[in-house]
């Protein structure tokens, strides 16, 4: 199995079920492990055979800024599908954490694993 990872990515978005959460931008921390469809990029060294990290980050930022779903679980699911469908990945492990959302809690969130060949 060959993966690429993006860890400790910070994005600002308006995700949450409470009205105040939808009014104020919150910082989320993302960790992604993306399984590649093949080992080709390791053999060829050609970007076209790989998943472009910068393009993934750009797509995530666009997704977060484009009216994301209110429930963090749904946000994670939609983001996972965006990466799987948009980049031809075989699978993804995704962790999404809200930072400082509750007093005395450094972070809270969800972690999911999804495969390209399954819905959930």
- Helix or strand (DSSP H, E) at 82: helix 72-87
What ranges make up the beta strands (E) of 14-48?
26-35
pLDDT at 7 over 80: yes
Helical pair 72-87 and 53-65, crossing angle rounded to 10 deg: 140
Contact status, residue 114 vs residue 87, Cβ threshold 8 Å: no
Domains and CATH numbers, the chain: 3-115 (3.30.1130.10)
pLDDT in tens, 69-118: 788 999 999 999 999 999 999 999 999 999 877 788 889 999 999 999 86
**Percent with pLDDT over 90 in the chain:** 56
What ranges make up the beta strands (E) of the chain?
3-13, 26-35, 91-102, 105-115
Residue 103 DSSP code: T
pTM over 0.75: yes
Q: Six-digit token pair at 31?
A: 């960790």
Which pLDDT belongs to residue 22? 74
Mean pLDDT of the chain: 89
User: If we measure between CA atoms, which residue out of 66, 59, 62 comes closest to residue 84?
Assistant: 59
């Amino acid at each position: 199995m060959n993966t690429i990872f993006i860890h400790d990515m910070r994005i600002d978005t308006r995700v949450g079920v409470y009205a105040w959460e939808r009014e104020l931008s919150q910082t989320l921390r993302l960790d992604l492990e993306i399984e590649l469809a093949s080992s080709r990029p390791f053999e060829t060294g050609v970007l076209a055979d790989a998943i472009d990290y910068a393009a993934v980050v750009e797509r995530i930022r666009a997704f977060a800024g484009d009216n994301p779903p209110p429930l963090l679980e749904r946000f994670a699911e939609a983001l996972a599908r965006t990466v799987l469908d948009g980049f031809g990945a075989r699978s993804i492990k995704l962790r999404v954490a809200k930072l400082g959302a509750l007093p005395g809690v450094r972070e809270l969130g969800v972690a999911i694993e999804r495969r390209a060949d399954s819905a959930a």
